[in-house]
Structure 1
Amino acid sequence: MASLTTAEIVEKLDQSPETRPTKLAGSVRPDQLLLSEGDEQLALDMPDDQFYLSVAPYLTHTHDCFYHNTGSCQGELVNSQVHVTITTADGIVIVNRDATTYANGFIGFWVPTGSSGTITVSQDGKSGTVPFATGDQDATCITTLKLV
């Protein structure tokens, strides 16, 4: 992974097919990716203008989370087809596409730092919408998006 950017490492870890928890964990913060494996730890700077939002839509069960952990967070809807729309507070649609959740039940998106708005996920006639914000104290792990 030495040749990968921080963004590429986040994506590789989040999209890993490994069963959670994994040996290598990545805590995704607004400004850093904190990697840990056993007693070893490493902090990598995140891109200045991009914020990683990891979203786990659910039907019946979820978990509390603030900073996404690629090595331990596990969502309910694994490898599931969904449609995702992310719209900023000023009405700009920055994501509008079909996606497949990863083996950990999450889908990750790079969105502009300093923005806010809503995330809407739909699947099989059910949908849910939650707010998001991408400031330096905001959550990178969205586990409150219930499909109803």
Structure 2
Amino acid sequence: MPRLTVMIFLALSGVALAQPAPAQQTPAQQTPAAAQLNGLTPRQALAKANQWRGAGGLQSYVTSEAIVFRFPGGQQRSVPLPARQMVVALAPYVNRTHPCETHYMSGCQGELVNRPVSILVKNEAGKTVLNRTMKTLPNGFLELWLDRDQTYRVTLKAGGKAASGRLSTAAGSQTCITTLRLQ
């Protein structure tokens, strides 16, 4: 029996025909709105900035003090970082990088996307504060939440290559580190 005949028969028999579900928008396709930031913790706000990357003309970035959102039309909202921590975004690379000091979740793009990277972070006293493997985000960055007013030694390993460098979490410090070349 041809498909159309079966559908007509089922419809006349009172059998409900399945209708296709309406297309659901992914979070990145939703229009960002300042009200969606209400009540978010700094970590949740950073996740929202990454989720909204490139959506609706939104610009988002992180300073040593806050996660900042600039919405189309000029509205700006900030979510303060914790008093004792700040976030530093690292983009390890092999072939290409970009100069940067302030991490723009809405625009910065690292070379190594969705790649596992081993991270070892030690403070000035040599104490290990982080030792784990993380996967770079779709923008090629690793986001580290570190205690403030410290200087750290960072070692990254991926694909049989390694890079190391220093970073600081003092007021006004860089939030975007793009100088860690894996060799």
Aligned counterpart in structure 2 of residue 76 of structure 1, from 111, 116, 123: 111
Aligned counterpart in structure 2 of residue 130 of structure 1, from 154, 159, 165: 165
- Point out where structure 2 has 5 or more consecutive residues left out of the alignment: 1-36
Work out whether 1:31 is the aligned partner of 2:31. Answer: no
Question: Could you list the per-position Cα deviations for residues 72-123 of structure 1 after superposition, in whole angstroms to 9, with x for gaps in the alignment?
Answer: 1100000011101111111011110011000000010100001102111101
Work out whether 1:115 is the aligned partner of 2:150. Answer: yes
Structure showing greater relative contact order (alpha-carbon pairs closer than 8 Å, 6 or more residues apart) = 1
C-alpha distance in 2, partners of 1:84/1:11?
20
Q: Which residue of 2 aligns with 1:67?
A: 102
Taking structure 1 as the reference length, the TM-score comes to 0.91
Number of aligned residues: 145
Q: Which residue of 2 aligns with 1:45?
A: 80
Q: Secondary structure at the match of 2:153?
A: strand
Displaced runs of 4+ in structure 1, greater than 3 A?
Answer: 20-23
Q: Secondary structure at the match of 1:128?
A: strand
- Point out where structure 1 has 5 or more consecutive residues left out of the alignment: none
Q: Secondary structure at the match of 1:7?
A: helix
The alpha carbon displacement at 1:142 in A equals 0.7
The alpha carbon displacement at 1:49 in A equals 0.2
Aligned counterpart in structure 2 of residue 11 of structure 1, from 24, 39, 47: 47
The structure number with the bigger radius of gyration is 2
Matches within 5 A, 1:90-101: 90-101=125-136
RMSD, aligned α-carbons: 1.4
Taking structure 2 as the reference length, the TM-score comes to 0.75
C-alpha distance in 2, partners of 1:3/1:32?
15
Work out whether 1:147 is the aligned partner of 2:182. Answer: yes
Q: Match of 1:2, as an amino acid?
A: N
Q: Which residue of 1 aligns with 2:38?
A: 2
Task: Considering fraction of residues, name the structure with more helix.
Answer: 2
Which is further off, 111-120 or 20-29?
A: 20-29
C-alpha distance in 1, partners of 2:113/2:48?
16
The alpha carbon displacement at 1:34 in A equals 1.5
Q: Match of 1:120, as an amino acid?
A: T
The alpha carbon displacement at 1:124 in A equals 1.9
Question: Could you list the per-position Cα deviations for residues 4-52 of structure 1 after superposition, in whole angstroms to 9, with x for gaps in the alignment?
Answer: 11232113323x3x6x544333220111221112122112211110010
